[in-house]
Amino acid sequence: MYTVKALKSLFLEYMEANKFDYSPRELFEPVDYILQLGGKRLRPVLLLMSYNLYKEDIKAALPAAYAYEIFHNFSLVHDDIMDEAPLRRGKATIHQKYDINTGILSGDVMLIYAYKYLLDIEKKEVIPEILSIFTKVSADVCIGQQYDINFETAKQVTIEEYLKMIELKTAALIAGAMYTGALLAGASKVDCQNLYEFGLNIGTAFQLQDDILDTYGDAATFGKRIGGDIVQNKKTYLVLTALERANSTQRKQLENLLSSHPVDEEAKIEEVTQLFNELNIKELANKKRDEYHLKAVKNLESLAIEGKKLIPLKNVAESLLKRVQ
């Protein structure tokens, strides 16, 4: 079995050997740019880990891993246009560095190239199923993004609706990557399905963790501004849970805060955080995240795979979800 580090480095080598060095550069240079901004390479590494549970010839899974990474980056490019985000991983977004039209068209070609790499898979007999699952989770990402947009202006969003949205927008692609790795390696349908569920659960836990870190994280390691969601009045798991548990005074206070755009953003962040603290939101969110984490671990343990082979995946899940003290 490969270490996570070894899988990531094999993947990075494959990326390097498969750069978008095509013409016209106006179309493909932005693709190279966004793909080389870095990031955890979470989806491709998880796909390779899923494959590696069953098989050692990692090479056969690299095109699929690349397809998932290309799709993920495509979705970031188009989302960043929609969100008018100037920065991604600390660097200019494509529409900021070039222009919106470049962001649209280079994004489109990325989506097409994700399919191209899936079609490069040598095991031709599994291609229809691999493409079907990819198509399903790709559509889920768009649907999740639309719900996310809808929620911005929705009067009321239930916690259930929110969890469904993050499942679609974030967790589905991770689930698809897990399923694809296992399917490519010839795993049983039951194992493929369990790894899909693992992806959904870990992906949802991961997004809940992101919500928690936005308020309770450490600025030095979080990589984003603490309180960013609060400033933007985002309906996160924390906010929705707080609204659910608040008494009428607290609810009014929270609703006022989360419809305001004050000059003193730090004071707003502090007030909202104070309300979260009164309502025990950090603990409740941690608990919910841990529920998903536990389900994910159970998904792994129900695989037809010996326990010690599961350790690397358990460790990755653990490291994604480090508790905030």
| The residue to which tokens 């609060």 are assigned | 230
Q: Which is nearer to a copy of itself, 94 or 305 (CB)?
A: 94
Asked if 82 contacts 215 with a C-beta cutoff of 8 angstroms, the reply is no
Nearest approach, Cβ of 171 to a copy of itself (angstroms)? 18
Q: Which is nearer to a copy of itself, 30 or 227 (CB)?
A: 30
- With a CB cutoff of 8 Å and minimum separation 6, the contacts of 10 are 2, 48, 58, 62
Angle at 69 between CA 129 and CA 53, to 5 degrees: 60
Nearest approach, Cβ of 245 to a copy of itself (angstroms)? 28
Nearest approach, Cβ of 61 to a copy of itself (angstroms)? 17
Binding residues for a copy of itself, per CB under 8 A? Answer: 24, 26-27, 78, 81-82, 100-101, 104-105, 107-109, 111-113, 115-116, 119, 124, 127-128, 131-132, 135, 138-139, 142-143, 145-147, 149-150
What DSSP string describes 202-246? HHHHHHHHHHHHHHHS-HHHH-S-TTHHHHTT---HHHHHHHHH-
DSSP label at 158? -
Nearest approach, Cβ of 113 to a copy of itself (angstroms)? 7
Asked if 279 contacts 321 with a C-beta cutoff of 8 angstroms, the reply is no
Nearest approach, Cβ of 208 to a copy of itself (angstroms)? 22
Closest CA to 241 of 274, 279, 268: 279
Q: How far apart are CA 149 and CA 256, in angstroms?
A: 21
Closest CA to 58 of 49, 69, 70, 67: 49
Q: Which is nearer to a copy of itself, 143 or 284 (CB)?
A: 143
Q: Which is nearer to a copy of itself, 19 or 287 (CB)?
A: 19
Q: Which is nearer to a copy of itself, 46 or 141 (CB)?
A: 141
Nearest approach, Cβ of 123 to a copy of itself (angstroms)? 11
Strand (E) or helix (H) holding 177: helix 172-184
Nearest approach, Cβ of 22 to a copy of itself (angstroms)? 8
Helix axes 127-153, 159-166, angle to 10 degrees: 140
Cis bond before residue 24 (omega within 30° of 0): yes
